[in-house]
Structure 1
Amino acid sequence: MSPVLPKFTFPAPPAGPSRRLTEVLRTETAGGVVLLAATLTALIWANTLSGSYEAVGSFHFGFPSLGLDLSVRHWASEGLLTLFFFVAGAELKRELVSGELRRPAAAALPVVAAVAGTAVPAGVYVLVASAGGGDLGGWAVPMATDIAFALGVLAVIGSHLPSGVRTFLLTLAVVDDLGAILVIAVFFTSTLNWAALAGASAGLVLFRVLHARLGVRGWYVYVPLAVAVWALMYNSGVHATVAGVALGVLLRSRPRTAPGGPRPVAGTPEAEEASPAERVEHLVRPLSAGVAVPLFALFSAGVTVSGPALAEMIRQPESLGVLLGLFAGKFAGVLGGTYLAARFTRARLDPALAWPDMAGVSMLAGIGFTVSLLVTELAITDPATTEQVKAAVLTASLLSATVACVLLKIRDARYRSAGGGGPHGSPQGEVA
């Protein structure tokens, strides 16, 4: 008789405020609220005490002998933000192994939507920047969708929307962020330190062997190894957040079976409960949502907000290209790509969803924020233009969120009046 694997359950942390806080930070709503609070703090700080904001953000500390003498702003963008991409990588791995991306038929539409939703905004930026004689280097800024903000907005307003809305948005955002990371790795790596890159690659291979082949356990093994991989990746010239994605993708998303034992089927409760990727993601998510991403926003979103500054933002081709790319290009790319794929291929929209639902999701995709701000710092070299482009990212994200809230709130009310019972929404075909 084959041995039975023990059922996995998350270890309960000690009762008290810390436990309640970590549980709250695991929710999409709380993550979005904390991120919004950090953004507002950055805007207030930068517009009232701009001197201290710049002084703190540019303060350097670290380990010069290891090539890690970074400013506070760079520690946030290349250090702490690696945790965000680690969680995104783990989520992508789970989607590929046991989620929607494991079934080509179900993944086709959101994947096409993600591809079109990155290509069209980039094209909009290039057209606007070319017409105005601007810097074409910012073409990648309007490509990304912010997972935390988009899912947070959906969680707040979509209590009666079908669960397929969240699944579609999550799949789209994960593929979208993977594309953004590939763009960062390929197009924003100027010089390479091949020795450091080889060391980082060797560390990733060692991580995979220890984790997936030998089954070695213990944070005291993997945390130092992950830090070493991150430091080597940074010194290689490749953006250090790529290390986070790579480590997340290398996590094992299926349970380790006992010798001779049956292998749990992907997508079953047994497989999910025993998944190391889910366990690690569960543990790291509060740190990512409550510390890493908010601190990145705090030291990246501080731009001057005034009438003349906003007028200048609209006049400059780079910032106008980003504004139109995120707000209009994302909507057109995601909705248009989804419609064309459903019209001319075998891919089909979930029967429980309607095209007005997709319009709301397509508008949510225009919330760029985290990754767009990161790409702005990599792609735009002029400080004045950088500030204008960041203002455009914030403006476009706010506009997209506002319009998406209106569209999805109308749909949510329709599902509620039709008898939708919470996050799983109404029966198929009941609301058109």
Structure 2
Amino acid sequence: MGIDVVALHCPTAASISTSFYCRSPDVARNWKSIESVQLNLNLPSCRDGDSVFSTFGASFFWGRSLRETRDVSGEKKLHLLAARARASANQQNKKPPIFVLKKPERIPMNEGGNSGPKFVSDELGDMSVSEDHKSGYVALIGKPNVGKSTLLNQLIGQKLSIVTNKPQTTRHRILGICSRPDFQMILYDTPGFIPKTMRRLDEMMMQNVRTATINADCVLVVVDGCQDPEKMVDVLEEGTSASYERRPTLLVLNKIDLIKPGEVAKKTEWYKSFGGMDDVIAASAKQGRGVDLVKSWLIERLPKGPAYYPKDIVSEHPERFFVAEIIREKIFLQYRQEIPYVSQVNVLNYTERRSSAKDFIEAEIVVEKDSQMAILIGKDGTALKLLATASRIDIQEFVGKEVYLELKVKVRENWREDDDLLDYYGYNGKIRS
């Protein structure tokens, strides 16, 4: 059931013009051929008698990783074919590309300033690469709250994964892309590993972890340096499981800023002696220490191959997905106990308007009980208004312009056990655009 209480917020912020991309029928045919092999790509509908597809604004084009649905060789050919066709059409028609983010440069997350992604309208550019170009997928796995999301953000150079001090903040596989002229590294931030699942949601999250690991060219096992290594055995076994094809595996001993140097050396030796890992690197993702070593280790072990994505894109997830994640991050930060874990955020409407006007965003927060809804709303709606304010500020920073945010709260009993709802919310690995 729904309620009439909503939170509306739209104060000032610097406005940055946004760009659109109209796809020609030739490009569409290439994408249609890929769609026919069930790669779950979302195409806008073509208007009758029109030479271009209708504009679909601020959303990335891909719905999920190609690596998940096809064998490597066939998938590389298809993806490269479509990307080149898209780039060619761009050059011929002189039209701006799909929404892309600022070219990534790694910035330590504790240095302040604006490290979030911005939208630009640079030309897509040539997809051709040298024969020595490297590309591949990297899965980050580990227990909850060990710093996987912070490490991914550092490797990408921008904040894509939400970060809180509560465990199990990440629910989806967050895909981030780190590109340079000589390589393209596609990273998966995965939910925290849970040995024993309690709900259907937990089961689907763990399936996403295993899918990411199976499809990876390299595996990063992230552990908390403050914790007893013997308590990490289950996740170590998951990362080095014999059921997976052997691939380079690096253990990152994270949070070394919180432990003494002697403990760092001692725990590094313990993990090296455990076996199954190719190497161990001590790091502090929060401070940026050791991140360059991790990146260099991964790049050296990536297979040679073409670029899967244009070099200035840092994620394939749609923009509304990140908007929902920002709202969910604020729920984790503002509320306690069970509320963050029973809350699901869905963006119902994202209407982009002219650069001088505010974008309109309508989002719903789904919980399981009336009592939880009451806590979310607060007395006279004060808690929901506070949540909307905090969310709007970060959303405006993310999209680079003012937004008009409307939040609603709805109750869906036991949504965490409902397969249909979980599929609809994207926990089957197919994030809707």
Q: Higher strand share goes to which structure?
A: 2
* Structure with bigger RCO (C-alpha 8 Å, 6+ apart): 1
Q: Higher helix share goes to which structure?
A: 1
Please state which band the TM-score falls in when normalised by the shorter chain: under 0.3
Q: What TM-score comes out, normalization by structure 1 length? A: 0.21
